[in-house]
Chain A
Amino acid sequence: MSEPSPIVLVIDDEIQIRRFLRTGFELNGFVVHEAGTGTEAIRSATLRPIDLVIVDLGLPDMDGADVVERIRSWSSVPIIVLSVRSNEAEKVHLLELGADDYVVKPFGMAELLARVRVALRRQMRAVSGEPTVKAGPLTIDLAARAVLLNDKRLTLTPKEYRLLQVLAQHAGNVVTHQHLLKEVWGSIHVHDTHYLRIFVRKLRQKIEPHPDSPKILVTELGVGYRLVQSGNELDAPAWPESAPAKSET
């Protein structure tokens, strides 16, 4: 990170959580602002420029979802939600409100940092208008509408390309089933999850080196899909030091 240090706003009512997040972020070159309540967080977000928001769902004065909605009403700053409950419907709801991603508590710092980097990079790409997205051996040129695998051009059907395009626009972040269905097939098909399943299978056959253990177009069960970007933050295990032998698949 040779750029100026990114500023992250951590919103959580538990001081112990804030403390380890502060240490973890600072060790990785971030500047940290803290807020213990939703009101404080919203004031803080309006007063100072920030590059990223981490928000806990259980705040004493308001629902974390409200904070997401309020911040999203004026800012496109990346938002990552910390959720205690591993409730898929809630995750989908938060993503639809405009959160970029979520991490389920308890989580490791490496996992959170990986999500943060993806979100920051997406923001940077959105600002610079960078037209190509790389995901492992896959390159998607959004301007030329071309998809290359190991520099060889792939032939995709219009729907397959549209699916990949929507995922590439959110590269690294999870995209909900509903959003994909709406963007690719139109809002009347928003519940036809099987369309997605069948097309993702076809698409994986074309873009994945090993379609039966996908590494590029990965499933977030019950929520959506994620195009895993190169740079490999997400490929790194959540506990980097303790995965001696990579398990075979």
Chain B
Amino acid sequence: MHDKLKFDPIRSELHGVLMTLGLVAALTAVLFALVWEVGLAHGSVVYLIPVVIAATRWGIVSAVVAAICGVLASAFFFYPPLYSFRIKDPQEVIDLILFIFVAVAVSQLATRLKRQLEMARQREIDLRDLYAFSRRLAVAFDVSDIHAAIEDHLASVMQRNVVLFPSAREASNSSGRRAGVTVPELVLSEAAEVASGHRDTTAGATVTAASGEIWLVRAVSPKSPEFGVIAINLGRESKERSDELRVRVDAVLADATATLERLGVAHAISEARMRSQTDQLREALIGSVSHELRTPLASILGAATVLSAAPALRNEKKLTALVHDVRDEAERLNNDIQNLLDATRISSDGVKPHVEWADPADIINSAAERCRHRLADRHLIVDLPADLPLIHVDPVLVQQALIQIFDNAVKYSLSGSQIAVNAHTHDGHLIIGVTDQGAGLTIAEKTKIWGRFARGERHAATTSGSGLGLWIANAFVAANAGKVTAVSEGPGLGTTVAIELPVTQAAVPQLESDTDE
């Protein structure tokens, strides 16, 4: 279908006629040689060959030209009197009628066949487009995803530069370059007008940009304004051509709107809008609440550390213990708030890792260092091979995941027990394992621990925490293309939580050996 938009009928017809003439001339030359060399009597029937070829390949005009030229050529070259168009034999008149009849019949047949083939191909393309479009809609998460899908769908159906403005605001704020297309200023202002509903939008308006290109601006659907306003670059066309194109745009848009309505896009858009508003509200709330909570916490913690070091309290054992309680509880509260903030970050806009080349030993050591206070009454054993590969990750995220795992190990094990950290590479992955001698996991717990707010029910009464720890660890590691696994022999037999991160062996950068020495 879209071929027709680009098609120049006169030029291609001319091409067909020229090809036909060439064909007839070539055939005549061959026949001429045959007649003289072999003594062939009449060759006129052979001229059916170019007629059929022209009819099937270039259409009816070329076929008729082939028929006429064939008859003329045979009259001129092969029927007496030779080298004259005069005809003695009535046979030739019959030839001419036969040729023209074959030309018309074959070209009709061929054209119909061609059209059917084209339609079938177009249907296939349309179906594929539609399928891709509906799949994109199915995975679209927010309004902008849906609009991008509509925009791409229309662009592929129209075979033109298409820009979709979801709202008036979007159109007036647009920088003029969208989706790799430069949109003229005039078109932007027109789109803003149409989107704000100031204009009757059914027919749409054409805008001629400074470059001479004609843009059609109209609402995607007059009934459903949430589909937005579309601007289509019609190119530099004559008035008639662009009118023709507008009719086609109408047809395509009517089709597209029906599709959009059928797929429930309008509903999806308004739902996505609502979802994002709720999310924003929740995020803002948690953000401000945790800020408000953390500021006084900083004062409490700071003041407690000043007090605990104060000379006046040096010999007051009981008071010092109280001050330590204040400090420890404030620190715990701070960790809980940090977890809530992390959880909000994960579920609201996802985690965006800042990757760099990092030494796994550095990550493990600094996580242990950050947990030093909490790990103080556990027996921590770190055993790392000297030749661990560098990994391409966000080291801070991996460190925070490790801290959560350490925290968890401390929470579910007894004072004085051992926590072992080791690392090795296996099958293109770096595996960091943290093994405790604590409560272990039941089979049911193994699947539950990864949930949000998951807490060991057996320990709910004795341990504190929000149950976010492993969920956060998992999300932070997943953001680095890795995963977290937990293995336990059973309840009371300890747990090994392991972080698996990909080692891109081929991509591990090497220093040129001469950079140093």
Interface positions of A (Cβ within 8 A of B): 14, 16-17, 19-21, 23-24, 27, 84, 88-89, 105-110, 157-160, 177, 185, 192-195, 197-201, 211-214, 219-222, 237-245, 247-249
Complex Cα–Cα for A222 and B386 (A): 21
Complex Cα–Cα for A110 and B508 (A): 40
A selection of 7 A-B contacts at a CB cut-off of 8 Å is A19-B303, A106-B334, A212-B386, A222-B396, A237-B372, A237-B373, A247-B379
- Chain A residues in 8 Å Cβ range of B376: 242-245, 247
Which of A16, A21, A249 sits near B296, CB closer than 8 Å? Answer: A16
Interface positions of B (Cβ within 8 A of A): 291, 294-303, 305-306, 308-311, 320, 324, 327-328, 330-331, 334, 354, 356-359, 361-363, 365-366, 368, 372-373, 375-382, 384, 386, 390, 394-396, 399, 508-509, 511, 515-517
Inter-subunit contact B386/A211 (CB<8 Å): yes
Best-buried of A84, A199, A214, A222 by chain B (most CB within 10 Å): A222
Which of B303, B380, B396, B515 sits near A221, CB closer than 8 Å? Answer: B396
Answer whether A110 and B359 are a contact pair too, CB < 8 Å, given A14-B299, A199-B516, A219-B366: no
- Chain B residues in 8 Å Cβ range of A109: 302, 305-306, 309
Inter-subunit contact A24/B365 (CB<8 Å): no
Which of A24, A195, A238 sits near B373, CB closer than 8 Å? Answer: A238
- Chain A residues in 8 Å Cβ range of B375: 247
Answer whether A193 and B309 are a contact pair too, CB < 8 Å, given A239-B327, A241-B320: no
- Chain B residues in 8 Å Cβ range of A248: 379-381
Complex Cα–Cα for A243 and B300 (A): 20
Inter-subunit contact A107/B301 (CB<8 Å): yes
**What is the CB-to-nearest-CB distance from A243 to chain B, in angstroms, rounded to a whole number?**
5
Q: Could you list 13 further interchain pairs (A-B, Cβ under 8 angstroms) beyond the known A160-B516, A219-B365, A242-B373?
A: A23-B303, A24-B306, A106-B302, A193-B357, A199-B516, A219-B362, A237-B372, A239-B305, A241-B324, A243-B372, A243-B376, A245-B376, A249-B380
Which of A14, A158, A198, A219 sits near B511, CB closer than 8 Å? Answer: A198
**Top 6 closest pairs, chain A to chain B, by CB:** A16-B299, A194-B357, A108-B305, A219-B362, A106-B298, A106-B301
**What is the CB-to-nearest-CB distance from A201 to chain B, in angstroms, rounded to a whole number?**
7
Inter-subunit contact A20/B299 (CB<8 Å): yes
Inter-subunit contact A200/B359 (CB<8 Å): yes
- Chain B residues in 8 Å Cβ range of A157: 516-517
**What is the CB-to-nearest-CB distance from B220 to chain A, in angstroms, rounded to a whole number?**
40
**What is the CB-to-nearest-CB distance from B99 to chain A, in angstroms, rounded to a whole number?**
75
Secondary structure class of chain B's binding surface, majority of residues: helix
Complex Cα–Cα for A194 and B507 (A): 11
**What is the CB-to-nearest-CB distance from A48 to chain B, in angstroms, rounded to a whole number?**
24
- Chain A residues in 8 Å Cβ range of B298: 14, 17, 84, 105-107
Which of B291, B311, B328, B380 sits near A247, CB closer than 8 Å? Answer: B380
**What is the CB-to-nearest-CB distance from B58 to chain A, in angstroms, rounded to a whole number?**
60
Inter-subunit contact B305/A88 (CB<8 Å): no
Inter-subunit contact A247/B399 (CB<8 Å): no
- Chain A residues in 8 Å Cβ range of B358: 193, 197, 221
Complex Cα–Cα for A213 and B144 (A): 49
Best-buried of B309, B384, B509 by chain A (most CB within 10 Å): B309
**What is the CB-to-nearest-CB distance from A140 to chain B, in angstroms, rounded to a whole number?**
19
Complex Cα–Cα for A248 and B508 (A): 32
**What is the CB-to-nearest-CB distance from B410 to chain A, in angstroms, rounded to a whole number?**
11
Complex Cα–Cα for A198 and B331 (A): 36
Inter-subunit contact B516/A221 (CB<8 Å): no
- Chain B residues in 8 Å Cβ range of A21: 302
Best-buried of B299, B306, B327, B511 by chain A (most CB within 10 Å): B306
Which residue from chain A places its CB closest to the CB of B296 in the assembled complex? A16
Inter-subunit contact B330/A106 (CB<8 Å): yes
Which of B297, B361, B517 sits near A212, CB closer than 8 Å? Answer: B361
Inter-subunit contact B354/A20 (CB<8 Å): no
- Chain B residues in 8 Å Cβ range of A110: 305, 309
Inter-subunit contact A108/B366 (CB<8 Å): no
- Chain B residues in 8 Å Cβ range of A214: 365
Which of A23, A107, A195, A211 sits near B515, CB closer than 8 Å? Answer: A195
Inter-subunit contact A20/B303 (CB<8 Å): yes
- Chain B residues in 8 Å Cβ range of A185: 515
- Chain A residues in 8 Å Cβ range of B361: 212
**What is the CB-to-nearest-CB distance from B445 to chain A, in angstroms, rounded to a whole number?**
28
Which residue from chain A places its CB closest to the CB of B378 in the assembled complex? A247
Which residue from chain B places its CB closest to the CB of A23 in the assembled complex? B306
Answer whether A14 and B396 are a contact pair too, CB < 8 Å, given A194-B357, A237-B373: no
Which of B295, B390, B395 sits near A222, CB closer than 8 Å? Answer: B395
- Chain B residues in 8 Å Cβ range of A23: 303, 306
Inter-subunit contact A195/B305 (CB<8 Å): no
Complex Cα–Cα for A222 and B366 (A): 11
Inter-subunit contact A88/B302 (CB<8 Å): no
Complex Cα–Cα for A246 and B58 (A): 91
- Chain B residues in 8 Å Cβ range of A108: 301-302, 305, 327
Which of B306, B354, B515, B517 sits near A89, CB closer than 8 Å? Answer: B354
Which residue from chain A places its CB closest to the CB of B330 in the assembled complex? A106
Which residue from chain A places its CB closest to the CB of B356 in the assembled complex? A193
Inter-subunit contact A14/B302 (CB<8 Å): no
Which residue from chain B places its CB closest to the CB of A156 in the assembled complex? B516
- Chain B residues in 8 Å Cβ range of A19: 299, 303
Complex Cα–Cα for A239 and B359 (A): 28
**What is the CB-to-nearest-CB distance from B43 to chain A, in angstroms, rounded to a whole number?**
77
Which of B291, B296, B302, B309 sits near A107, CB closer than 8 Å? Answer: B302
Which of B299, B305, B324, B357 sits near A197, CB closer than 8 Å? Answer: B357
Inter-subunit contact B294/A105 (CB<8 Å): yes
- Chain B residues in 8 Å Cβ range of A89: 354
Answer whether A222 and B309 are a contact pair too, CB < 8 Å, given A20-B302, A106-B297, A214-B365: no
Complex Cα–Cα for A158 and B515 (A): 10
- Chain A residues in 8 Å Cβ range of B509: 192, 194
Complex Cα–Cα for A226 and B24 (A): 88
- Chain A residues in 8 Å Cβ range of B394: 222
Complex Cα–Cα for A89 and B352 (A): 13
Inter-subunit contact B357/A221 (CB<8 Å): no
- Chain A residues in 8 Å Cβ range of B300: 106
Inter-subunit contact B373/A239 (CB<8 Å): yes
Answer whether A106 and B515 are a contact pair too, CB < 8 Å, given A27-B310, A212-B361: no
Inter-subunit contact A247/B372 (CB<8 Å): yes
- Chain B residues in 8 Å Cβ range of A106: 294, 297-298, 300-302, 330-331, 334
Complex Cα–Cα for A27 and B294 (A): 25
Complex Cα–Cα for A230 and B311 (A): 25
- Chain A residues in 8 Å Cβ range of B368: 247, 249
Answer whether A221 and B362 are a contact pair too, CB < 8 Å, given A16-B303, A20-B302, A199-B516: yes
